[in-house]
């Protein structure tokens, strides 16, 4: 059996496979479109709370832990938490802006946490654009220097880039950076409102032309990679487990905020419980919110199928839909734009 | 060297979990994921508990009710495969 089949099985059977821990909303950068609600209040989660949580997750068979933020390194117990995750045998990812990760701190991270991967935030291919988005002069140059250092010591990393109106004209050059470091990138073309409902970041959403360009470039890269590495074919003997749900939100994943609130995923911010009051197992097995979300993801899968092929290909997010439109089965503006682009491309290919 | 007293452990970059009866092995260095069946998962679980090969064979024979002579051959072959794949290494 392949891991991809197994993850579908985990999703179908509600097995908690991956947990995202938002350690803190503090950050050393100040990205214009950051979605975190920095006004959120509560009792902060400390090392002893994370220790108890990880012990419970170990019992539940969870494998993946992502340390996120804000900037996770800004949490006072980051290294203790990361080292404990390593000791307990979790596959640990760190979602970081990479600004502080150099020399001794970088070596310490490699030695004590040994993450499976770093997800580094990249916001453009030039200082002018990247620094404009982070609002910290010099942050682009420093990230590039830090990446070179990471590469030199064998730290595995890839890039994450939210696509905006400001960086959409640099996508081609962004791919050059990705190739320079021989890594990969996840470009998210959807900018969302802040978690507190503030819609200001939406003004930075990428344009239809930008999304079209991204779609063309991605297509070309996929073709080039298929020629380079060959495309694996299903032998016909492989077991393929069908996924009953649209995504793993609340079915194989949860997100925990800095105050112990548990959400189905990073986008769907309906609190299923609080870890100061209940254990993760109690929340996982007893939360009505999680039950509702699990049913919802089944309905969303059926709904996207009804909308057609383009809707199934755009990576529709029910959490974003709920946040932006009030319904998990309604196209939000950026999803609508992407469906239109795919439909146009499909017509173009037919012609 | 008595192969039955040899002790193995998972390599430092390997992460392993038994989830819903399936063994998931992640080799961090090369970003590879392997899935092993129930018996394979039990063997790795016992190795992680620091059990020697002979004890491991004894425990697996009890757990899965299989003939020990045949199992010994299979376990040695399996451990050798895992060692070649850099999933396990001999404890010095």
- Full domain range(s) for residue B17: 11-86
Whether A278 has a pLDDT exceeding 90, the answer reads: yes
- Is B1 an 8 Å CB contact of chain A? no
State how far the Cα of A163 lies from the Cα of A264, in Å rounded to an integer: 24
- Is A15 an 8 Å CB contact of chain B? yes
> Average pLDDT for residues A255-276, to the nearest whole number?
97
Q: Which of B17, B19, B35 sits opposite A2 (nearest CB)?
A: B35
- Percentage with pLDDT > 70 across chain A: 95
CB contact under 8 A, B19 and A17: yes
R_g of chain A, CA atoms, integer Å:
20
CB contact under 8 A, B15 and A10: no
pLDDT by 10s per residue, chain B, length 92: 566 778 899 999 999 999 988 899 999 999 889 999 989 999 999 998 889 999 999 999 988 888 888 899 999 999 999 999 999 999 87
Task: Assess if residue B1 is contained within a domain.
Answer: no
pTM: 0.91
Chain B CB contacts of A6 under 8 Å are 19, 22, 24, 35
Quick one: pLDDT at residue B1? 54
State how far the Cα of B2 lies from the Cα of B59, in Å rounded to an integer: 19
State how far the Cα of A254 lies from the Cα of A330, in Å rounded to an integer: 23
Task: Assess if residue B6 is contained within a domain.
Answer: no
- Is B33 an 8 Å CB contact of chain A? yes
B82, two tokens: 């895992």
- Give A117-159 pLDDT, tens digit per residue: 999 999 999 999 999 999 999 999 999 999 999 999 999 999 9
Counting every residue, how long is chain A?
351
A4 C-beta neighbours (distance < 10 Å), count? 13
Q: Which of B17, B20, B31 sits opposite A13 (nearest CB)?
A: B20
Chain A CB contacts of B26 under 8 Å are 63, 91, 116
Sheet architecture: strand order including B32-36: B14-19, B22-27, B32-36
State how far the Cα of A93 lies from the Cα of A101, in Å rounded to an integer: 14
- Is A6 an 8 Å CB contact of chain B? yes
State how beta strands B22-27 and B32-36 pair. antiparallel
Cα separation values, A251 from A35, A243, A296, Å: 23, 11, 11
Task: Assess if residue B77 is contained within a domain.
Answer: yes
Quick one: pLDDT at residue A348? 66
Task: Assess if residue B22 is contained within a domain.
Answer: yes
The total domain count for chain B is 1
Task: Assess if residue B2 is contained within a domain.
Answer: no
- In A19-78, the residues whose Cβ lies within 8 Å of chain B are 61-63
Task: Assess if residue B61 is contained within a domain.
Answer: yes
State how beta strands B88-90 and B14-19 pair. unpaired
Q: What value of ipTM does the predicted structure carry?
A: 0.85
Task: Assess if residue B91 is contained within a domain.
Answer: no
CB contact under 8 A, A91 and B15: yes
CB contact under 8 A, A1 and B22: yes
């Amino acid at each position: 059996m392949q891991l991809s089949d197994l993850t579908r099985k985990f999703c179908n059977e509600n097995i908690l496979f991956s947990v995202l821990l938002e350690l803190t909303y503090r950050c050393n950068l100040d990205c214009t479109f950051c979605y975190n609600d920095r006004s959120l209040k509560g009792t902060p989660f400390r090392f002893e709370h994370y220790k108890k949580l990880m012990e419970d997750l170990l019992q539940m068979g969870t494998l993946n832990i992502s340390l996120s933020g804000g900037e996770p390194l800004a949490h006072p117990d980051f290294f203790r938490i990361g080292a404990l995750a390593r000791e307990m045998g979790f596959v640990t990812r760190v979602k970081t802006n990479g600004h502080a990760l150099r020399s001794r701190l970088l070596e310490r991270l490699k030695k004590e946490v040994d993450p499976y991967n770093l997800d580094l935030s990249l916001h453009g291919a030039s200082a002018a654009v990247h620094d404009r988005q982070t609002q910290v002069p010099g942050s682009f140059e420093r990230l590039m220097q830090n990446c070179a250092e990471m590469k030199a010591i064998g730290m595995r990393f890839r890039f994450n880039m939210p696509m905006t109106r400001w960086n959409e004209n640099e996508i081609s050059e962004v791919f050059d950076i990705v190739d320079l470091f021989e890594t990969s990138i996840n470009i998210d073309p959807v900018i969302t409102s802040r978690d507190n409902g503030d819609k200001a970041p939406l003004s930075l959403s990428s344009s239809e032309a930008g999304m079209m360009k991204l779609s063309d470039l991605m297509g070309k890269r996929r073709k080039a990679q298929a020629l380079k590495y060959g495309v694996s074919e299903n032998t016909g003997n492989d077991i393929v487990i069908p996924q009953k749900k649209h995504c793993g939100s609340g079915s194989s994943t949860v997100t925990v905020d800095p105050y112990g609130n548990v959400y189905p995923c990073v986008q769907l911010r309906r609190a299923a419980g609080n870890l100061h009051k209940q254990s993760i197992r109690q929340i996982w097995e007893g939360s009505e919110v999680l039950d509702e979300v699990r049913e919802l993801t089944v309905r969303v899968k059926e709904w996207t199928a009804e909308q057609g092929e383009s809707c199934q290909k755009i990576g529709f997010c029910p959490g974003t839909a709920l946040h932006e439109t009030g319904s998990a089965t309604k196209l939000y503006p950026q999803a609508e734009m992407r469906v239109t682009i795919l439909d146009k491309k499909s017509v173009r290919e037919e012609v | 060297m008595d192969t039955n007293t040899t002790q193995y452990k998972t390599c430092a970059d390997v992460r392993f979990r038994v989830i819903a009866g399936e063994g998931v092995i992640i080799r961090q260095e090369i970003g590879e994921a392997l899935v092993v069946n129930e018996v394979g998962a039990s063997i790795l679980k016992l190795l992680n508990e620091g059990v020697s090969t002979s004890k491991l064979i004894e425990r697996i024979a009890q757990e899965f009710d299989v003939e020990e002579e045949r199992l010994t051959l299979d376990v040695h072959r399996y451990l050798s495969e895992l060692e070649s794949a850099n999933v396990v290494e001999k404890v010095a």
